[in-house]
Chain A
Amino acid sequence: MKLDKLGRKNLPWVYLFILPSVVVFLTFYLLPIVTVFVTSLTRWDGYNPPTFQGFRNYSLLLSRSVFLISLRNLLWWSLIAGTLHVGFGVLVAFLFSRRPVGWKAVRTVYMIPNVISGAAWAMIYRFIFNNDFGLLNGMIRVFAPGFNVKWLFQSPYAFWAVTLTWLFYAVIITLIVHADLMSIPAELHEAAHIDGATGLQIAWRIDLPLCRFSIGTSVILSITSRIAMYEAVALTTRGGPGDDTMNIPIILVNAITDMNYGYANAAAVSMFVLGIVTLVLVNWLFRMNRRVY
C-alpha cells in the first residue's frame, strides 16, 4: 500500500490509536466466536477442560423436542416477520411519503417502543395481557363481561400474544424504507402520471421494486431479531405454556445455567447458521446483488 507523507511519519501513532479497538475486537468478538464454534464440539462444564466429542451436542439438540419446537416457532415467527411485520412497516413508510397531516408526530411516537428497554416493553405487554388488570381484557370486558383468558399462559394464545409484542412495532423498517422512497427521483413519478398510471400502480410497479434493497434489509433485520428474541419470551412466558413459545436463546441461557457449555454453544452456532441462511436466502430472493438504478 502506498503511504502518504503524513501517514508514514505517524505510523507508530496510527497503530497505537487503533490498538484499543483491535483489543476489544479480539477479546469480545473473535475469541468468543472461535470459542463458541470449537467448544460446541466438546463436552464442557466450565471447570474441567473440554473433551472433544464430535457432533454429539448437535445431534442431542436435534433430538430434543424443545429445540424442534423452537425451530418451528422460529419458522412461523420469521414468516410473520418477513410478511406482515415488514409489510406493515413498508405500508406506513408509503403513507408517510404522502406527507399526510400529522405524519411527523406519528413518526416520533412510533419510535417510542423502540427507545425503551426490551425488558420494560416485555413487562408492559405482560401487564397488558394480564387477566386481572390488563388493558386487553379490560377492553374486551366492556363488550363481554365475565371474559377470562390468560393470554400468556394458555395454549394456543401464548404464541400469538408473544407475536403481538413485536408485530406492529416496525419503526426501523419504516424509517429505512421511507429514506429510500424519498430518494426516488420525482421525474419517475411525473412520467408515470403522464402515462396515466394510478397511485396504486406507481406504488406497486415503481416504488416497491426501487425500494428492493431497503425492504430486503428490513426482512433480514426482522428475521434475525426473531432468532435473537430473548426478553419478549423470557420475561413473559419463559417459553411456556409447555414449550409453546420456546426459542433458541432460552435454550442457550438454560444450558449455561446448567453448566452445559458445549451444548449451549451448539445452540449458539445454530443461531449463527440460521442468521447466515437468512442473509443468503433473502439476498437471493430480493436479488440484492443486482443494482437498482
Chain B
Amino acid sequence: MADNAPSVTRTALVRQAGTSKEDVKRTTRRILFGVFMYGVLIFVFVVSALPVVWVIMSAFKDNSAILSSPFSLPNQLNFQAFVQVFTLYNFQTYTLNSLLVASLATLLSLVVYAMGAYVIARFDFPGKSLFYILFTLTLLVPPHTKAQPIFSLILNLRLYDTKTALVVVYLSFGMAMSMFILRAAFMAIPKEFDEAAAIEGASFVRTFWMINLPLAKTGLATAGIMMFLGHWNEYFYAMLLTASAKHRTLPLALAFFTEAFSYDYTQMFAALTVVIIPGIVIYALTQEQVQASVASSGVKG
C-alpha cells in the first residue's frame, strides 16, 4: 500500500514543488514508522514464542539450573524427565486417553454433522432453514453455562468417570462450526453429480458416501482439524466429568501433576511440554486451514 504507483507520483509532485526540509520530515516519519512497526512485530513474536521456548528449554535443565539461570540454554539434551513423566507418572495412559477421546469424538462428529450438513446443503425440505439456524446459533451458547445439566445427564446415563462421557459431550461441541464449514463444502459440489448418480440408480446413502463425501474432503479436513484441536485441548468438561486417573486426559493430568509435584521443576516443565507439543505440531502441519477457518468464522476449536 505504501509504495504503489500513485504514491510515487505524488512524492514526485511534492518533490518538484516542496522544499528539502519537507523531504527530511517525510523521511524521518517513514523511519519512525518503520521502527514502530517492526517493534510491534518483534514484540508479538516474542510474547508468543518466548513462553513456549522457555518451557521446552527448562524441561532439559535440572532444578538448580532452572532456579539460578532462567534464560540459559540447557547444557545437555537430557530426556530423563520425559522418560520419568511417561513411565513413572502414567503420561502414556493420559496421552492415549487424549488421543482416543479426541479422535473418536472428531470422527463421530464428522459423520453426524456431514450427514446433517449434506441434506441441508442439497435438499429442500420443511424445517430446513430452522434446523440450520438453530444448529449455528449454538455457537452463541457458552459451553460452561450448560455445566450442571450435562453433569446430571452424564450421571443419569451412568457414564460419569468414563471416556465415553467425554466423547459424547465433545461430539456436541463442534456443531456450529462443522455445519458452517461442511454446508459450504457440500454446496460447492455441482448438483449434476447427484443427478447423474440418481440416473445410474445409486442409492441415497451411496450417493452421499461414494460421491459427495470424497469431494468434500477439504471441508471435512478443516472441520476435523479444528475439532480435534479443540477436543485435545479441552479441560473444563474433562475436569467435571471424570474422577479417576484411569480416564484422565492430558490437560487435566497436567493440572493434577503440577499440584502434586510442584517441587520437581524439570518434571513439571517436561509434563507441560508433552501437553503443548502435539497441538503445535498439528497446527504447524495444517496452518493454512487453521488460519483460513479462523479468519472466516472467528471461532477456534
On A, residues with C-beta under 8 Å from B are 1-4, 6-7, 10-11, 13-15, 17-18, 20-22, 24-25, 27-29, 31-33, 35-36, 39, 46, 91-92, 95, 97-98, 100, 102-103, 105-120, 123-128, 132-135, 138-139, 168-169, 171-172, 175-176, 178-179, 186, 189-190, 193-194, 196, 199, 217-218, 221, 224, 227-228, 230-231, 235, 249, 252-253, 256, 261, 264-265, 268-269, 271-272, 275, 279
| Docked complex Cα distance between A51 and B83 (Å) | 54
Contact B51 A125 (CB under 8 A): yes
Is B38's CB within 8 Å of the partner chain A? Answer: yes
Which residues of B pack against A, CB within 8 Å? 1-2, 4, 6-7, 10, 33, 37-38, 40-41, 43-45, 47-52, 54-55, 58, 66-67, 70-71, 111-113, 115-116, 118-120, 123-126, 128, 131, 134-135, 138, 140-153, 155, 169, 171-172, 175, 179, 194-195, 198, 204-205, 208, 229, 232-236, 240, 250-252, 254-255, 258, 265, 268-269, 272, 275-276, 279-280, 282-283, 287, 290-291, 294-296, 298, 300
Given contacts A106-B41, A116-B233, contact A28 B279 (CB under 8 A): no
Contact A119 B41, beta carbon cutoff 8 Å: no
Given A24-B172, A119-B255, A18 and B41 contact (CB-CB distance below 8 Å): no
Q: Is the CB of A169 within 8 A of B283?
A: no
Closest to A178 in B: B295
The 27 sampled A-B contact pairs (Cβ below 8 Å) are A1-B124, A3-B125, A6-B198, A13-B204, A20-B115, A20-B116, A21-B113, A32-B150, A35-B149, A95-B40, A100-B41, A103-B41, A105-B45, A109-B44, A115-B280, A120-B251, A120-B272, A128-B51, A133-B265, A176-B295, A179-B295, A189-B1, A193-B6, A228-B142, A256-B240, A264-B148, A268-B145
Given contact pairs A1-B126, A135-B50, A116 touches B119 in the complex (Cβ within 8 A):
no
Q: Are A123 and B37 in contact (CB under 8 A)?
A: no
Known: A119-B233, A123-B272, A227-B142. A18 touches B119 (CB 8 A): yes
The CB with the most chain A CB atoms within 10 A, among B51, B140, B151, B252, is that of B51
Q: How far is the CA of A148 from the CA of B35 in the complex (A)?
A: 34
Find chain A residues with CB under 8 A from B172 CB.
24, 27-29
Extra pairs beyond A111-B291, A138-B71, A172-B294 (11, CB < 8 Å): A1-B124, A17-B118, A21-B135, A28-B171, A29-B141, A32-B149, A127-B55, A132-B67, A139-B71, A178-B295, A253-B240
Q: Which residue of A lies closest to B26 (CB)?
A: A198
Whether B37 lies near A6 (C-beta < 8 A) is no
Task: Give min CB distance, B194 to chain A, whole Å.
Answer: 7
Q: Kindly list chain B residues whose C-beta atoms are within 8 Å of the C-beta of A125.
A: 51
With CB as the reference atom, state the residue of chain B lying closest to A170. Answer: B44
B160 CB to closest chain A CB (Å) equals: 12
Residues of B within 8 A of A138 (CB): 70-71
Which A-chain residue is minimally distant from B250 (CB atoms)? A117
Dominant secondary structure of chain A at its interface with chain B:
helix
Closest residue of chain B to A193 (Cβ to Cβ) is: B6
What CA separation (Å) do A135 and B40 show in the bound complex? 21
* CB-defined contacts of B38 to chain A, threshold 8 Å: 100
List residues of chain B with CB within 8 A of the CB of A14: 119, 123, 125
- Is A46 within 8 A of B152, CB to CB? yes
Query: Do the beta carbons of A7 and B44 come within 8 Å of each other?
Result: no
Q: Which residues of A contact B49 (CB under 8 A)?
A: 109, 112
Chain B residues, CB < 8 A from A109? 44-45, 48-49
The complex places the Cα of A63 from the Cα of B175 at a distance, in Å, of 37
Partner of B51 from the list A32, A135, A272 (CB cut-off 8 Å) is A135
CA distance A18 to B287 in the complex (A): 31
Cβ B4 vs Cβ A190 within 8 A: yes
Contact of A117 (CB < 8 Å), options: B112, B171, B268, B276: B276
State whether A112 touches B280 (Cβ < 8 A): yes
B66 to chain A, nearest CB (A): 5
**Distance in angstroms between the alpha carbons of A167 and B26 in the assembled complex:** 33
Question: If A98-B2, A261-B148 touch, does A115 touch B290 (CB 8 Å cutoff)?
Answer: yes
A91 touches B41 (CB 8 A): no
